[in-house]
Chains A and B, each alone.
Chain A
Amino acid sequence: MEPAALARFVFGRIAKAALVVLAIVVLNFVLIRLAPGDPASVIAGQSGAADPQFMEQLRRQFGLDRPLPEQLWIYVSRIVMLDLGVSHRQQRAVVDLLAERLPATLLLTGAAFVFAISMGILLGTLAARRVGTLADTLITILALACYATPLFWVGLMLVLLFSVLLDWLPAFGMTSVGANLTGFAVIVDIGRHLVLPALTLGLFYLAIYARLTRASMLEVADQDFVKTARAKGVPEGRILRAHVLRNALLPVITFAGIQAGQLIGGSILVETVFAWPGIGRLAFDALLARDYNLLLGVFFCTSVMVVAFNIVTDLLYALIDPRIEVAS
């Protein structure tokens, strides 16, 4: 692929993506206002006492006393300048709040994603290669169980086993508080906290990738070019890697590309169960508190990430399968 064509492709996609994101922003803004209640009523409801003056002060402070179209206009014109506004509830810039929470989520979803895709492809390949054997059956059952079990339940059971009964791993949080760790010890500490949530989040996707890889490999393995390769005397291991797996991976990558975006959504549940200080929980709390600016900020951030993942996936196709070319 020529560099010029690649650059054209990327720029074209980014321009389109910007429009998509803008449409998402407007849609989100309208949707969120359809939910009954506003930040002022939530704060009043939780304070245990309120009077009309209190409500009016809050609404004026949040800019909610203006007409809705005006609020939308203010919001959109700010977001074009990448100004996400101030959280109603926490009284801090939304960008700061996101910056604080995003690394934790990326670490969690990244770890879960890598775990799911590597283990998924490995198990799927293993199952396809020994199709019909005990190993295949076990892997299929495992994948089915992981696929069918609710995430929060898996999480709680893992905590019960590894934290409460065995006391091997911490049950919640991202760091040990008050331990004053430095250097390498910090990484080990975060790693230990990461194991259970990443496992919980990854297991579901692992199941998908394992099943997908297995089915896809079995399909490719029957095709003529594989028989040809075998007839030519290509060693079995090379057939598996270069001929079968490489072709079988395309649907897996398509799926992974879509799901990389979804991982952030799925992490809300895992972040809640494991008290992981990530962006998913920030969104959930913001929704309950009707913290409009913060929630829209999270939506904005995640939609940008989903769009970005899609572009990356398209580029990956071309890398893995030279027959596919990128085109604007």
Chain B
Amino acid sequence: MAPNRRSPAGLRRRDFLAAAGATLAAPAVLGPGDALGQGTPRRGGTLNMILNPEPPVLVLGVNNQGPTLAAASKIYEGLLRYDFQLRPQPALAKSWTVSPDGTLYTFNLQENVKWHDGRPFTADDVVFSIGKFHMELSPRSRAIFQRITEIAAPNPTTVTIKIREAFEPFLLMFDVTATGIVPKHVYDGTDFRNNPANATPIGTGPFKFNEWRRGNYIHLTRFADYWKPGQPYLDDIYYRIIPDSASRGLALQSGQVQLTQSNDIEPFDVPRFQQMPNLAVETKGWEYYGPLSWIEVNHRVQPLGDVRFRRALSMAIDRNFILNRLWFGVGKVATGAFSSATRFHDPNARIAGYNPREAAALLDAMGLRPDAQGVRARLKFLHLPYGEVWTRLGEYLRQAFAQIGVQLTMESVDAGAWARRLAEWDYELSINFVYQWGDPTLGVERTYVSSNIQRVTFTNTGGYSNPQVDALFERGRTAVRAEDRQTAFSELQRLLVAEVPQIWLMELAFPTIYDRRYKDVIVGGTGVQASFGDVYIG
């Protein structure tokens, strides 16, 4: 609810009119309760937040890692942004229409928008960013934007995009984190990756880049010519680079930083901060990403190719234990292949619950009897090297699987080796978590369809192949109407729950912990990876 709760009244009306003018887009943007606020935003103040690990560069597209997005989303803007229900909201586009056959998108842009270097922003910048910049740089955009047959700027404030065939999730691709609009006058005709201007990013966002002391901090300052009247309220944002998680906790506790996000604070430290009265712990703001974690199964390794074995493993896991004892209640237990925040999630398709006895019975039925040591199968488990909690998860799984006679041998590697091993299919079991980007076609399909079995991370590295699953994903992808997509995806979710191609564990939620004096920190489905133009000190 209440996505724009804290915007000034005039602006809210403008947003509302813009969205109301759009057909097929943004139904019921703001409810009547949205006008209720606790005060008017005030100008001034500084926000210190943590950024970890330090990003290599702050230009979207050139780098799309989490920390880069967290900082660059203040500097750049997308055409749209998204509320907690993933409904599109105006950003650089003040309104938009979709033709009835779903192949022509028209975006009407905000007027009087300036780049940080003072040059005017026009529709040409949008055409360049979508058609050339992200098309060349970003694998995620490339996969979607290759559907575009024509992109044009009939006038300086209008962009039209024609796509080959109807593609219902298309409107989800215009967030700043997916398709940030970059200045054509800086990048056109250059080598995007090696452009010297990458050191001093130029965007249209509410904050402009000021200084970057490597290993120390990144400083953004208020952009006085920002197009949204009154915004931004803060004068400065400092991103402090603190590599050690215990030190990050101390920095938050001592008040030297006022905001931590993502993995900054280890889950076992979260309860400590939940008890501090001056801090707010918010787990909303990951809906657009829908990170889902699972045990990554290599189907080429026997007996993992056998559905009965995978089902047994899945039933040997007490997911509530994982949620409550390892993540201290932050997140949700996974119900299946779709995160509950992802569109078309079907709550009726659920994986079987914790039942080690039945799991053992399944293994008996397969003919996998315990040997003299009580072991039915031996498998290697590759730890996910993204922090201590993942190691603890691996240790829990070893115990859980030992109960049904499956013995895990643990392997530890660093992040580089992990990514390489997964991409080379050189693993038996591991842990993975993958963003779903709001829509099954955008973020779920890639893990399960046989056409995406590739030697690259975040593809179908497990090698799962099922023609029925392929067909249902295709039906969901090509259907024009949302209802038809729902039918296909509901059937698909029931099938996947029975097949257990990956052993889903948790819908992750990363706590954003911030000083309560800061208001309107998390206002939409992209959480801290949003403009922060609304943030003020109350």
Contact = CB atoms under 8 A, between A and B. Distances in A.
Interface string A261-298: 00000000000111111100110110111100000000
15 contacts: A35-B416, A36-B420, A37-B421, A41-B420, A42-B415, A51-B454, A52-B455, A91-B194, A100-B215, A159-B250, A173-B240, A275-B242, A276-B215, A285-B243, A289-B416
Interface in A163-179: 163-164, 167, 170-175, 177-178
Q: Which 9 A-B pairs have the closest CB atoms?
A: A45-B419, A277-B215, A37-B416, A37-B420, A49-B140, A36-B417, A51-B139, A275-B242, A277-B216
A149 B217 CA distance: 30
Contacts of B243: 272, 275, 281, 284-285
A223 interface: no
A90 interface: yes
B350 interface: no
B456 A51 contact: yes
Interface stretch (B17-25, B50-58, B501-509): B50-58
Given A53-B142, A156-B250, A101 B434 contact: no
Given A35-B416, A52-B454, A164 B254 contact: yes
Contacts of A159: 247, 250
B193 interface: yes
A90 B414 CA distance: 20
B296 interface: no
Given A41-B416, A42-B415, A288-B416, A48 B435 contact: yes
B535 interface: no
A178 B236 contact: yes
Contacts of A272: 243-244, 247
Contacts of A11: none
A164 B250 contact: yes
B350 to A, nearest CB: 26
Interface residues on B, range: 35 or more
Given A45-B419, A285-B54, A288-B414, A177 B219 contact: yes
A89 interface: yes
Interface string A80-98: 0000000001111000010
B416 A171 contact: no
Contacts of A47: 63-65, 139
B456 A172 contact: no
B457 A172 contact: no
B60 to A, nearest CB: 11
Interface in B41-96: 46, 48, 53-54, 56-57, 63-66
Contacts of A53: 139, 142
Interface residues of A, number: 59
B56 A89 contact: yes
Given A49-B139, A49-B140, A273-B246, 20 more contacts: A35-B417, A37-B416, A37-B417, A42-B416, A45-B422, A48-B434, A91-B198, A100-B214, A163-B250, A164-B250, A164-B254, A172-B251, A178-B236, A272-B243, A275-B242, A275-B243, A281-B215, A282-B215, A285-B53, A290-B416
Given A36-B421, A177-B48, A50 B458 contact: yes
B365 interface: no
Nearest to B426: A36
A171 B415 CA distance: 28
Contacts of A170: 256
A290 B56 CA distance: 13
A276 B139 CA distance: 35
A104 B236 CA distance: 25
A53 B46 CA distance: 41
A55 interface: yes
Contacts of A195: none
Interface in B217-245: 217, 219, 236, 238, 240-244
A44 interface: yes
Interface string B462-475: 00000000000000
Contact of A277 (B213, B251, B459): B213
B296 to A, nearest CB: 13
A289 B421 CA distance: 15
B247 A274 contact: yes
Contacts of A287: 414
Contacts of A282: 215
B423 interface: yes
Contacts of A285: 53-54, 243
A37 B419 contact: yes
Nearest to A45: B419
A152 B250 CA distance: 14
B65 A46 contact: yes
A156 to B, nearest CB: 6
B352 interface: no
Interface string A27-70: 00000000111110111111111111111000001000000000
B436 to A, nearest CB: 11
A37 B414 CA distance: 9
Nearest to B191: A61
A160 interface: yes
Interface string B418-457: 1111110000000000110000000000000000001111
Given A47-B64, A48-B64, A50-B456, A41 B419 contact: yes
Contacts of A101: 214-215
A171 B250 contact: yes
B448 to A, nearest CB: 16
B253 interface: yes
Nearest to A104: B215
B423 A44 contact: yes
A50 B457 contact: yes
A282 B215 CA distance: 8
Contacts of A278: 215
B28 interface: no
A240 to B, nearest CB: 43
Contact of A163 (B240, B241, B254): B254
Contacts of B219: 177-178
A43 B459 CA distance: 15
Given A37-B416, A100-B214, A45 B457 contact: yes
Contacts of A50: 139, 456-459
B482 interface: no
A175 B193 contact: no
A281 B214 CA distance: 11
A284 B243 CA distance: 10
A100 to B, nearest CB: 6
Contacts of A174: 216
A81 B276 CA distance: 56
B413 interface: yes
Contacts of B63: 43, 47
